[in-house]
Amino acid sequence: MKFDTPATTNPIDRMKVVGQPYERIEGRQKVTGTAPYAYEHHEFGADTAYGYVVGSAIGKGRISALHLGEAQKAPGVLAIVTAESAGELGKGKFNVAKLLGGPAVDHYHQALALVVARSFEEARSAAALVRVDYAREDGRYDLEALKDGAPLYTGGEAPAEDRLGDFETAFAEAPIQLDAEYTTPDHSHSAMEPQASTARWDGDELTIWTSNQMIDWGVTDLATTLGMPKEEIRFMSPFVGGGFGGKLFLRTDAVLAALGAKATGRPVKVALTRPQVANNTTHRPATIQRIRIGAGEDGRIAAIAHESTSGNLKGGDPENAVAQTKLLYAGAHRLASMRIAEMDLPEGNAMRAPGEAPGLMALEIAMDEMAEKLELDPIEFRVLNDTQVDPMKPDRPFSQRQLVECLRQGAERFGWNARNPRPGQVRDGQWLVGVGVAAAFRNNMTLPSGARVRLGRDGVVTVETDMTDIGTGSYTIIAQTAAEMMGLPLSRVAVNLGDSSFPVSAGSGGQFGANSSTAGVYAACVKLREAVAAKLGFNSADDLTFAEGEVRSGNRSVPLAQAAADGEITVEDTIEFDQGFTDAEQQSTFGAHFVEVGVDRATAEVRVRRMLSVCAAGRILNPMTARSQVIGAMTMGVGGALMEELAVDKRHGFFVNHDLAGYEVPVHADIPHQEVIFLDETDPRSSPMKAKGIGELGLCGVGAAVANAIHNATGIRVRNYPITLDKLIEDLPDVA
């Protein structure tokens, strides 16, 4: 199905099943432990072997010698896989560094060997006996030291410097100016389930259960890496214990599990340790951002510039922290640019809301600082500079843009009018209390997505697609889509996900998964409706009503199951989005975050007291699972604001706090009352579902809202995340 015109009235609009707050259909499996994750396939019995990854102990250099003798003699050891024994390996499209290193070392904890043994404990013990001699080389590990020499990034679609008008002149002439630098640190995904895989060979055919968000990307890159036909690999991720972007791409665990299984002739399990998750997989790169805003006395922005510098391995991309600044606020004179420093730290890549999350952590503090300079309310300053067209392309309107309504509704619900605009004035016992706001923005994206739909003789509709569920509710919204289209209760729909033998879907990532994958199911169900109509002798599916398990036309009503009386009906289709049509109007999602904090007046400890998120993101397919996505994202935003930071050892090039004891993330005690409001919105230009995405919007801007609330509570402006107590304590206001 080609999507090249705005969606008109269709069966989804009935909203009998879609849009309703159904609990997750796979939830019982997850809470009872019967949903098998990648490492939990135990059907192979005693033949199963276990692999343990030996990672590099240096950040850059070469292997002089690899001593395997002691490890090979250790109890239970079956094989040791190295780059030499594996032979020539390819490198996938989405990988920057080799997933099995040697003799060159590209980054700390790059996999150099896999020890395979009869048990995990034996593999781990033997791995400790592997000895590696290194020729260490000087590495580049300090972004601050490299920023001045970092070149402009020229590898993207946008110009190295994206300009409109004459920023420098307009900024110099603006009576009110801000020129400030903000920094965000490296972040780790820290999903509950680490990267893990179980691999088994049957002759030349490989089956691998792995924790991955994008099945087709993964199987394609695994085939490239192993130098084998894609058709000979079955790649499966039916259950994924969180990803946040860290499992978008093929990683070491999958490649080494396959190589280990080949070397031993047994099924092999490989799971990365927490330190390897931090250093061996991808992370969100640190940024140094300069923001300049020039405005008139009336508060209207005349000039705005956002320049960001980040680092990555050679061949990697920068963190696109300037993306939202091109679209969020008006201003006739504009500049956006990114610089990238070549570094030798582990690979930087996508993490939840890549670009907008760290970009808004800076931009939305800058907007508050400008409001303060202008003596304007922060919300009114944002409303004043709203725009209904793409600021970089003024002849291109937004398909939907309810930013102002998000701010207005949020202000009313949160009690913004009671806010004291003078910082450091509100106290509650030992606490200095403040409130903050930030806008939320995330672009809407869509990808082609396919599905297979089967109608059985029992009247049950089964959906098959390689779409994944990373804890987001994909199983449920896909079932809701099929149920709505075929006029069935949710209990009469079965959903199978995460298998490369199914039609290729959009996958889970970029906030495109839910909208794209359900649109693919919609397309397949349109075909199924047509097949049912033909089978039952109706002239056309267009005039039929599918409801309550029946197919109806005028006075005629036939049970849906009757169409499959002679045998199962199977169809499949793919939704394809016409780029010219979708690009004609700017499609984005918007929101507003409100936060109240307390700052201990003696210790400077920060406690979040309450949070509100208001979102405008197209049709909400399931408000229960959507709310879960948003409150989870809000929680992640608190982590980024107050505690999350991968500390870099700038001598040896690794992340020091590479486990969940040292890399702190929010826990239940850190998170107070959270409230979420979804605005009533549909976007016919987005998809037949008229939906968009929500999982990343809930993170965008949260960190800045926390930072702005801290400033309101204390009068202290912190521009370097995370905002830890040492950055506040010396400047706390005097208290009686």
How confident is the model over 615-624, as a mean pLDDT? 98
Report pLDDT for 193: 98
Enumerate domains of the chain plus CATH numbers.
2-35+446-582 (3.30.365.10), 355-444+587-731 (3.30.365.10)
Q: What pLDDT does 568 receive?
A: 98
Task: Convert the pLDDT of each residue in 566-618 to its tens digit.
Answer: 999 999 999 999 999 989 999 999 999 999 999 999 999 999 999 999 999 99
Q: Beta-strand (E) ranges in 203-260? A: 205-210, 233-236
Q: Is the pLDDT of residue 463 over 80?
A: yes
Task: Give residue-wise pLDDT tens across range 92-138.
Answer: 999 999 999 999 999 999 999 999 999 999 999 999 999 999 999 99
Query: Is residue 629's pLDDT more than 60?
Result: yes
pLDDT band at 42 (very low <50, low <70, confident <90, very high): confident
Q: How far apart are CA 518 and CA 451, in angstroms?
A: 9
Residue 178 three-state SS: strand
| Structure confidence at residue 735 as a pLDDT band (50, 70, 90) | low
Span 241-261, pLDDT tens digits: 999 999 999 999 999 999 999
604's tokens: 């400077």
Rounded to an integer, the average pLDDT of 552-579 is 97
pLDDT of residue 217: 98
Least confident of 36-45, 105-114, 233-242: 36-45
Q: Are strands 550-553 and 389-390 parallel, antiparallel or unpaired?
A: unpaired
- pLDDT score at 191: 97
CA distance 55 to 110: 5
Instruction: Show the beta-strand stretches assigned E in 333-491.
Output: 333-342, 389-390, 393-397, 427-428, 431-443, 449-455, 461-464
pLDDT of residue 158: 85
Tell the residue number behind the tokens 């006996």, with chain if given: 129
- Max distance between CA atoms of the chain, in angstroms, equals 85
Please give the positions annotated as active site: 696
Q: How confident is the model at residue 44 (pLDDT cuts 50, 70, 90)?
A: confident
In single-letter form, the type of residue at position 660 comes to L
| Cβ-defined contacts of 559-565 (< 8 Å, 24+) | 559/459, 560/455, 560/459, 560/486, 560/487, 560/488, 560/532, 561/455, 561/456, 561/457, 561/458, 561/459, 562/536, 563/455, 563/531, 563/532, 563/535, 563/536, 564/455, 564/456, 564/457, 564/459, 564/535, 565/457
pLDDT band at 416 (very low <50, low <70, confident <90, very high): very high
Confidence label for 734 from pLDDT (cuts 50, 70 and 90): confident
Contact yes or no for 254/212 (Cβ under 8 A):
yes
Mean pLDDT of 519-540: 97
Mean pLDDT value across the chain: 97
